[in-house]
Amino acid sequence: MKLLIVVSSLDLTQPFSATPAWWQLMKALYEIGVEVIAAPYQGPPIESLWWRSASNPARLQGDTFQWARNTMRKMGGGKQPAATPTPGAGNSPETRSERATRRAARALVAPLWSRHLDRILTREPDIDAVLLLTVPLNHFTGIPAEIQRKHGKPVFYYDGDVPASLPSLHGFSSGFRIYQGADPAEYTAFFSNSKGGAEMIQALGARAAHTLYYGVDPDVFSPVAVAAQDLDVFFYGHGREYRGEWIDALLRDASLALPESRFAVRGTALGDLGRTERLPYLSFSKLREYACRSKLNLAITRAAHASVYASSTSRPFELAAMGATMVASPYLGIEEWFEPGKEVIVLQSPDEAVERLRWLLAHDAERRAIGEAARKRALAEHTFRHRAQEMVRVMGGYTT
């Protein structure tokens, strides 16, 4: 199979949190024999051993938009939503600036992408399918239908931000509203990182929606030898948005209640963390070292994902592949991937956080067994090769 993929970004230095996952997915596609051509929607084309890059035809426009957006945020235009989003609570209306941005993208950016993809598909007619990988859906309205009409190629969309991306939610303060003005019915099929969210996508008009969870590349996320586990509790993440209560319970309050234990974080905009130590970033390999140095690793999932059944995120799979013992905030559907009590500890109330952490830190054998079981499960069922094989199987049903 040969795929043309329009990916949100290939630049790991940019603040797009899913970019490392897309690197792993496209690497896995290569490893199972798929030829990948990757064109970034934002930033420069970056070549790799696993894909051939194509240019970004609207890089100047994208860089200009990103600069303007960042400038507005610094001036106070990027305020976070005041409340936790509630799925099914009704569509969150576009603001005037969001509507203007969408119209500008349709007028200035979409024509460039339409011509660019047409040229690639004309030049390489052996491409089997086109995949849009978490790019702004409403910036491409009309392009999938045109590709199918002119080239006869199926066009798929993978929304890796479900349910936060859906119109019934406010979305993250850093994200686009991607469905307003879009036409989901023009795609051959959707992939969704969320099982519960797949039904919501179909309700928006998609012809079909297939669940494809996040995964992990065990060549990247694997245990690293450390001199000692000198950290007791570690959390890696950015922002309190939609998870502030659990950050307070598991970091601020727990670190104050357990003064004999060493709590640490790597992240920004997390608020008051009590006695929790803030560690420097330094490098990706350092993050892996931090996780392996810690006896317990926290998986604090934002409420938008945790409240819709089996809405996958990267972190649990990454931690599991490293053999980390995970302590998670409530996460609806986590049993789809890991068995609570055996492969992950799931808390139900902030009130139980301190006692569960204290017990786990005092019982080394039981704690280590949980991490070992999680790693075994991740390797057996949750690698990105598993996800790539599932994606190709689904696509094959539309290309044959």
Q: How far apart are CA 128 and CA 133, in angstroms?
A: 16
For 4, the token pair is 């043309």
Domain 2-215+384-399: CATH class, spelled out: alpha beta
In the chain, CATH 3.40.50.2000 covers 231-381
| Neighbour count for residue 260 (Cβ, 10 Å) | 7
Q: How many CA atoms lie within 13 A of 237 on its CB side?
A: 25
Decide: helix, strand or coil at residue 65.
helix
In the chain, CATH 3.40.50.11930 covers 2-215+384-399
Please, what is the angle between helix 364-381 and helix 353-362, to 10°?
100
pTM of the complete model: 0.91
Q: Report which DSSP code applies to 187.
A: S
Please, what is the angle between helix 384-399 and helix 19-31, to 10°?
70
CATH number of 231-381: 3.40.50.2000
Closest CA to 300 of 382, 245, 352, 252: 245
Q: Report which DSSP code applies to 285.
A: H
Peptide bond into 81 cis (omega under 30): no
| Residue 54 C-alpha from the chain's centroid | 23
Residue 384: Cβ-neighbour burial (10 angstroms; 0-12, 13-18, 19+) = buried
For 326, the token pair is 């995970």
Q: What is the residue-level pLDDT of the chain in tens, covering all 400 positions? A: 999 999 999 999 876 679 999 999 999 999 999 999 999 999 999 999 999 999 999 887 666 666 555 555 555 544 444 445 555 444 556 666 667 777 777 777 899 999 999 999 999 999 999 999 999 999 999 999 999 999 999 999 999 999 999 988 755 544 567 898 899 999 999 999 999 999 999 999 999 999 999 999 999 999 999 999 999 999 999 999 889 999 999 999 999 999 999 999 999 999 999 999 999 987 888 999 999 999 999 999 999 899 999 999 999 999 999 999 999 999 999 999 999 999 999 999 999 999 999 999 999 999 999 999 999 999 999 999 999 999 999 999 998 7
Torsional sign, CA 330, 332, 338, 339:
positive
Q: What is the CA angle 65-192-131, rounded to 5?
A: 60
For 275, the token pair is 């006695």
